[in-house]
Each structure stands twice: as structure tokens, then as C-alpha cells.
Amino acid sequence: MRNLLNFLTRYNNLIVFLVLEGIALYIISTGNSYQNSRLLNAVKGVTRGIEQKIYNTSSYLSLREINERLAMQNVALKNRLEQMVRKENPVFFSVQDSVYKQEYQHTSGEVIDNSINRQKNFFTINKGELQGIKVDMAVISPDGVAGKIVGCSKDYSVAMSLLNIDFKLSARIKSNGYYGSLGWDGRDYRYAILSEIPQHVNVSIGDTIEATGFSAIFPEGIVVGTVSDYEKVGGDFYKIRVSITTDFKKLHFVDVIGNMKKKEQLDLEKLFK
């Protein structure tokens, strides 16, 4: 009780002011229709502003769930497309499967750890063996090649990033079909190097670079990047600088791709090597 009395004594002027202000507002709003409408409009404006901010906040917080749902739907559509291609028309295969007629299984994943500032970069995905992920599966972003799976536990997987000096990919120039070896030189995270392209080949700035599919890991036709610049090295080949389409600083949702016929292909190739 003493604390209450002390509070009232300390803030009595403010309390009296607020009470009188409330009475004045009540008299104005009830005694004059114009003032009443202005007051109501002001209150409605404040209420709408608060409601809009609450709506914007809830919408922002739900973006994560929406993105996860979209990623799952995208993977489901890809798997459905693979089934339709195989069942409905065994003669027709997608562009990515035109050479080896490979069958692929897609699984969505979320990157929960990533590095780009080392010579050997890796990233972690929140899917593992229980979700069907295995070593040597391809990992792509919505924009192109991202890496390949190198280790799995029950619920997590680690992928070797394209931004790893040990990562090598068979890639080709889309416009003319000439292929070589693509890798990262450990410098700028935005660029990779395509080598082994003969100097008699026509190369142009902006040419699309894509995976060949020769490794049986990445489907044929997955985009890697575009030609940024090139130079002659030695007497026979170009050194081509490739602008990577995947932005590794924004890498979040990915697609893990498993080649269902990889073992069959590799076992057969071993007989002739």
C-alpha cells in the first residue's frame, strides 16, 4: 500500500493530466460529429498501421517454411518427370539424359554450414543416409553446379564444394561441344578455370559452360557458368576463365541428384580400362 501511495504521489500530476486528457477527448468525440469522425479516422489509421506491421512480420517469418515447401515441390516434380519420361515414352529422354539414358533421383536439401574462403571448401546439408543420400551424388543449386557428396551420416551429409582445389568436373562449351576439365584455382570464389580446350576451337565471351555427364555423377547439361575471358597457354590449349552461375555466398536450398544406373555404367567401363 505504501508503494502505491508513493507511486501516486510521485506521478500525480501525470495521472491527473492523462485523466483530464481522456475526458476532453471523450467530450470532443461525443459532442461534435466532425471531431468525432476525425478522431475515429485517426484511431483507424493507427490500428491499420499496427496490423500491417504485424502482417509483414508474420509473412517474413513464414518465408523459410514457404521456401522449404517450394524446394520439396520442385524435387517432386523432377522425380515425376523422370518417371513419365521412362514409362510413357522409352524412346524420348530429356536433354540431360540424351547420351547415357541415365535415370536420376532428386532429393531437396538445405545448406546448414558453408565455407568459401579456404583452398578446400565444403558445405553441410541437413539430409543423410536415412533420406537416401550417398557418397558421390551430385549437388546443384537453382543456378547450376554446387558440388558433390563426399561423406554421410544418418541425418547429415558433407559435400565438396566446386570451390575446392580438389574438385574436378568434365565440362564443355555448349555452343560447339568441345569439352575439357574444369576446376577452381583457389582464388576468386566467383570464377573457375576450364582447361584442355584446343586453340583451334572458336571461343566467345558469354558462351555457356555445362557438365558433360561423363563422370556419371552430374547429369549432362547442368550449367556451370559462362566464359568470362580466355587466353592461350603453351602451344595447344586455352585457359578459359568461367564465371560461376552459383552464388556460393547465398547457397541455401540445393538439389541432391543420384544416378540410379551409375554402378552399371562404371562396372562396364572398368572392364576396358
28 shares a domain with 151: no
Separation between Cα atoms, residue 219 and residue 168, nearest integer Å = 15
- The confidence score (pLDDT) of residue 235 equals 76
From 45, 61, 77, the end of a domain falls on 61
- The confidence score (pLDDT) of residue 257 equals 93
250 shares a domain with 118: yes
145 shares a domain with 57: no
Give me the chain's average pLDDT, please.
80
Does pLDDT of 17 surpass 80? no
DSSP letter, residue 213: S
Quote the number of domains for the chain: 2
Displacement of CA 207 from its chain's centroid (Å): 23
Entry pTM: 0.66
- The confidence score (pLDDT) of residue 88 equals 45
Does pLDDT of 237 surpass 80? yes
For residue 77, being part of any structural domain is answered with no
46 shares a domain with 146: no
pLDDT tens-place string over residues 87-114: 444 443 344 444 445 578 889 899 999 9
pLDDT tens-place string over residues 33-58: 555 566 556 655 666 666 666 656 65
**What DSSP element (H or E) covers 112?**
strand 104-114
Beta bridge partners of 120: 164
Assign 160 to helix, strand or coil.
strand
163 shares a domain with 247: yes
118 shares a domain with 253: yes
Instruction: Tell me which of 6 and 183 has the higher pLDDT.
Output: 183
- The confidence score (pLDDT) of residue 150 equals 97
Separation between Cα atoms, residue 229 and residue 82, nearest integer Å = 36
pLDDT tens-place string over residues 147-203: 999 999 999 999 999 999 999 999 999 999 999 999 999 999 999 999 999 999 999
Does pLDDT of 256 surpass 80? yes
Helices (H), the chain: 2-10, 12-31, 33-61, 63-88, 262-270
Instruction: Tell me which of 229 and 267 has the higher pLDDT.
Output: 229
For residue 202, being part of any structural domain is answered with yes
Q: How confident is the model at residue 273 (pLDDT cuts 50, 70, 90)?
A: confident
**CATH number, residue 181:** 2.40.10.340
Domain that holds residue 54: 2-61
Percent of the chain with pLDDT over 70: 64
Does pLDDT of 229 surpass 90? yes
